[in-house]
């Protein structure tokens, strides 16, 4: 009896122990992994019954909770759930578009699947989650292995002590309920797709392993960077090879586990949109071996110009949501990203603004290969809770995860800290502090934000105080859609008192594919095309303009676009419809970019 009581106390305290903070291993897509993609059982849990306690309102796992993966058997103890008898859903994927009754579901949903694993001795094992929107709580064999907040960035939960040799089970509770202190907050103009929306896998690494690495080209033409080793001893050797450049570097770790490299390449072919050359890079630290494909280029600002490899560049862009073409839903596959970037290429784009959150790593990998420059953004969108410390911490965490994952992508030139945030001291301090963080984490890239254009009469003075913290000023404007008529655009005067490079990070208007009519009739393809033409006339009078990212490549689901017969739950500002039909404006932009590209 006493032994039982002790067992129960120990068992409960193990369950209640706070879960570890997840980490983030870079280049997971270059490591051997056991994929957990596929069918998972799921239980929809709007009342949070799965945490196991009916009397407490807090989400703490208890012995009756779903994390135990119990099974009810006739005559056995009372268990009021059973994953094995519950339906399945595909991972990666949002739940909203896989199950008709979950289209509008926002709340808690539990995922479960079994997996076989045979850990090798002296290794660390991680559960890798590419993204879980919005909050995730992960359990392996009933051990609470980690919690994570933020729906668009990857994380790795160490499961070394939880995973057994043989068949294991993993339970992940994902909750996409919106809340005021979240990032993003309760309002946005896109669908709040919930679930395990990106790949999930198990990754095993040696005792001492490379968890982070980065290499970049300096303005003086050297390749510099580091590899970071966790679990090693100070002074251990790390080597770095770039076979195609016949470069071999060697360094030893400092007391923080970091081995720094600086080498001078001969005959380097610089990465650019015209020549997206990637080099295979190999790092070796003891038993760990990690490869990456890295392009080398420089990016900087000089006055109001953006210089790529020392030469002024104009960014022929388009804004892109991570919406899956043809099927609507969160983009998650190779096919999704190659369709989206394929359309951008057809438009003669050399740039995409990936809105409004970090996209799947497939997107930045493919941009690297295709030679498309990238603006990558965190979901600090509209009016978040600027004075809330938790909100700041979550924004900072997402910034950190975005930078850490993609710091080695040559395509990524701009870290965007926010979108359309109304001016206030608290907001400027919040984003200004994020800018300091971003520069600290990655001194090699440019910092931007998409701001609301301050307009007075027909003059736009680009003086949002946030601009002081940025390298490149993004401004969104909707002349001809939310204000005035398309033909008003050319008579607008633009001033850039900060003398920084400017990107018009959004402009556009809605059109339903196939709806034709006079050019002054809203929602027709002709009206949308008219907006584009008039904008181009306006851009000619903006000497400091260094790029544009019209809104938006493809129609996307949005719960705030409800005009029946036209919007039907979609933001229709796409150049391409959700079914892949190209609208008139697509071809207008294509012509314009073809001219600029010459
Ligand atoms: C904006 C927002 C974007 C919206 C777009 C629109 O300014 O940045 O998220 O979807 O306008 O269509 O109104």
pLDDT in tens, 209-238: 999 999 999 999 999 999 999 999 999 999
Tens digit of each residue's pLDDT (9 = 90 or more) over 89-131:
999 999 999 999 999 999 999 999 999 999 999 999 999 999 9
Interatomic CA distance for residues 61 and 145, integer angstroms: 12
Best CA proximity match to 520, nearest among 547, 549, 492, 488: 488
What pLDDT sits at residue 11? 41
Residue of 479, 551, 555 to test ligand 1 pocket, by largest number of atoms within 8 Å of CB: 551
Residue 465 Cα to ligand 1 middle (Å): 21
What is the pLDDT of the chain when averaged over all its residues?
96
The two tokens of residue 576 are: 């391409």
| Cβ of 573 less than 6 Å from ligand 1 | yes
Q: Among residues of the chain, what percentage have pLDDT more than 90?
A: 95
Residue 189 Cα to ligand 1 middle (Å): 6
| Cβ of 551 less than 6 Å from ligand 1 | yes
Interatomic CA distance for residues 444 and 403, integer angstroms: 11
Q: What is the mean pLDDT of residues 548-568?
A: 98
Q: What is the mean pLDDT of residues 3-7?
A: 38
What pLDDT sits at residue 6? 37
| Cβ of 188 less than 6 Å from ligand 1 | no
What pLDDT sits at residue 3? 37
Higher pLDDT, 486 or 64: 486
Interatomic CA distance for residues 418 and 184, integer angstroms: 10
Q: Name the pLDDT band for 267 (thresholds 50, 70, 90).
A: very high
Residue 213 Cα to ligand 1 middle (Å): 35
Task: Write the CB contacts of 54 (distance below 8 Å, at least 6 apart in sequence).
Answer: none
Nearest-atom number in ligand 1 for the CA of 508 is 12
Q: How many CA atoms lie within 13 A of 76 on its CB side?
A: 7
Q: How many CB atoms lie within 10 A of CB 551?
A: 23
Q: Residue 381 carries which DSSP code?
A: B
Q: What is the mean pLDDT of residues 241-254?
A: 98
Residue 241 pLDDT more than 70?
yes
The pTM of this model reads 0.96
Tens digit of each residue's pLDDT (9 = 90 or more) over 298-320:
999 999 999 999 999 999 999 99
| Cβ of 158 less than 6 Å from ligand 1 | no
Residue 357 pLDDT more than 90?
yes
| Cβ of 419 less than 6 Å from ligand 1 | yes
Integer angstrom CA distances of residue 273 from 270, 365, 468, 488, 495: 10, 14, 29, 34, 30
Atom 13 of ligand 1, nearest CA residue: 189
Integer angstrom CA distances of residue 28 from 203, 359, 386, 466: 8, 15, 33, 35
Nearest-atom number in ligand 1 for the CA of 420 is 8
Residue 399 pLDDT more than 60?
yes
Q: What is the mean pLDDT of residues 253-280?
A: 98
What pLDDT sits at residue 99? 98
Interatomic CA distance for residues 495 and 45, integer angstroms: 53
Integer angstrom CA distances of residue 332 from 37, 130, 215, 327, 558: 11, 10, 27, 12, 18
Contact 194, 96 (CB under 8 A): yes
Q: Name the pLDDT band for 450 (thresholds 50, 70, 90).
A: very high
- The secondary structure of 340-373 as a DSSP string is HHHHHHHTT-SEEEE-SS---HHHHHHHHHHT-E
Interatomic CA distance for residues 304 and 145, integer angstroms: 48
| Cβ of 557 less than 6 Å from ligand 1 | no
Residue 215 Cα to ligand 1 middle (Å): 35
Tens digit of each residue's pLDDT (9 = 90 or more) over 140-180:
999 999 999 999 999 999 999 999 999 999 999 999 999 99
SS3 165: coil
Residue 537 Cα to ligand 1 middle (Å): 22
Q: Name the pLDDT band for 57 (thresholds 50, 70, 90).
A: confident
Interatomic CA distance for residues 382 and 419, integer angstroms: 6
Interatomic CA distance for residues 77 and 455, integer angstroms: 68
SS3 47: coil
Atom 10 of ligand 1, nearest CA residue: 189
| Cβ of 476 less than 6 Å from ligand 1 | yes
Interatomic CA distance for residues 429 and 450, integer angstroms: 16
Residue 250 Cα to ligand 1 middle (Å): 48
Best CA proximity match to 414, nearest among 333, 337, 500: 500
What pLDDT sits at residue 139? 98
Q: Name the pLDDT band for 8 (thresholds 50, 70, 90).
A: very low
What pLDDT sits at residue 5? 37
What pLDDT sits at residue 7? 37
SS3 316: strand
Residue 417 Cα to ligand 1 middle (Å): 16
Residue 549 Cα to ligand 1 middle (Å): 12
Q: Name the pLDDT band for 337 (thresholds 50, 70, 90).
A: very high
What pLDDT sits at residue 17? 52
Q: Name the pLDDT band for 268 (thresholds 50, 70, 90).
A: very high
| Cβ of 555 less than 6 Å from ligand 1 | no
Residue 509 Cα to ligand 1 middle (Å): 10
């Amino acid at each position: 009896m006493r032994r039982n009581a002790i067992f129960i106390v120990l068992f409960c305290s193990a369950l209640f122990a706070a879960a570890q903070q997840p980490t983030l291993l870079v280049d997971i897509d270059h490591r051997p992994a056991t994929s957990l993609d596929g069918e998972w059982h799921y239980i929809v849990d709007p009342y949070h019954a799965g945490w196991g306690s009916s009397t407490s309102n807090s989400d703490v796992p208890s012995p009756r909770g779903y994390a135990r993966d119990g099974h009810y058997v006739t005559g056995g103890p009372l268990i009021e759930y059973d994953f094995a008898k519950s339906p399945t859903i595909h991972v990666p994927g949002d739940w909203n578009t896989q199950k008709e009754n979950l289209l509008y579901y926002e709340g808690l949903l539990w995922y479960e699947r079994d997996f076989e694993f045979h850990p090798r001795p002296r290794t660390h094992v991680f559960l890798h989650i590419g993204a879980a929107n919005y909050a995730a709580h992960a359990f392996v064999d009933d051990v609470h292995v980690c919690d994570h907040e933020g729906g668009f960035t990857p994380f790795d939960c160490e499961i070394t002590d939880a995973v057994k040799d043989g068949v294991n089970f993993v339970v992940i509770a994902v909750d996409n309920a919106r809340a005021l202190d979240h990032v993003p907050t309760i309002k946005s103009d896109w669908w709040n797709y919930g679930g395990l929306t990106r790949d999930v896998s198990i990754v095993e690494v040696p005792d001492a392993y490379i968890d982070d690495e980065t290499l970049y080209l300096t303005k003086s033409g050297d390749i510099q960077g580091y590899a970071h080793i966790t679990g090693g001893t100070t002074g251990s050797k790390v080597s770095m090879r770039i076979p195609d450049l016949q470069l071999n570097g060697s360094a030893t770790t400092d007391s923080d586990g970091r081995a720094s490299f600086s080498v001078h390449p001969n005959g380097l072919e610089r990465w650019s949109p015209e020549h997206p050359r990637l080099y295979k890079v190999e790092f070796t630290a003891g038993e760990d071996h990690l490869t990456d494909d890295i392009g080398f280029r420089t990016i900087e600002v000089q006055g109001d110009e953006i210089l790529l490899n020392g030469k002024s560049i104009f960014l022929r862009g388009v804004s892109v949501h991570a919406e899956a073409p043809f099927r609507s839903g969160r983009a998650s596959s190779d096919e999704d990203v190659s369709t989206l970037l394929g359309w951008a290429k057809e438009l003669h784009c050399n740039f995409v603004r990936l809105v409004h959150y970090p996209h799947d790593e497939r997107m930045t990998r493919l941009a690297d290969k295709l030679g498309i420059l990238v603006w990558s953004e965190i979901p600090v969108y509209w009016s978040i809770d600027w004075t809330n410390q938790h909100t700041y911490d979550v924004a900072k965490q997402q910034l950190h995860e975005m930078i850490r994952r993609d710091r080695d992508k040559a395509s990524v030139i701009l870290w965007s800290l926010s979108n359309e945030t109304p001016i206030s001291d608290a907001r400027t301090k919040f984003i200004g502090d994020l800018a300091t963080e971003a520069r600290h984490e990655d001194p090699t890239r440019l910092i931007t934000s998409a701001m609301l254009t301050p307009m007075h009469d027909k003059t736009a003075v680009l003086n949002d105080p946030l601009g002081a913290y940025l390298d490149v000023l993004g401004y969104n404007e909707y002349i001809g859609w939310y204000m005035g008529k398309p033909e008003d655009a050319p008579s607008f005067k633009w001033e850039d008192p900060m003398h920084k490079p400017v990107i018009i990070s959004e402009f556009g208007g809605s059109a339903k594919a196939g709806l034709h009519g006079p050019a002054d009739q809203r929602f027709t393809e002709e009206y949308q095309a008219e907006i584009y033409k008039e904008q181009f006339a306006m851009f000619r009078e903006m000497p400091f303009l260094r790029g544009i990212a019209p809104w938006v490549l493809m129609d996307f689901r949005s719960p705030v676009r409800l005009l029946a017969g036209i919007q039907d739950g979609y933001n229709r500002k796409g150049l391409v419809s959700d079914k892949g039909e190209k609208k008139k404006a697509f071809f207008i932009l294509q012509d314009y970019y073809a001219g600029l590209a010459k």
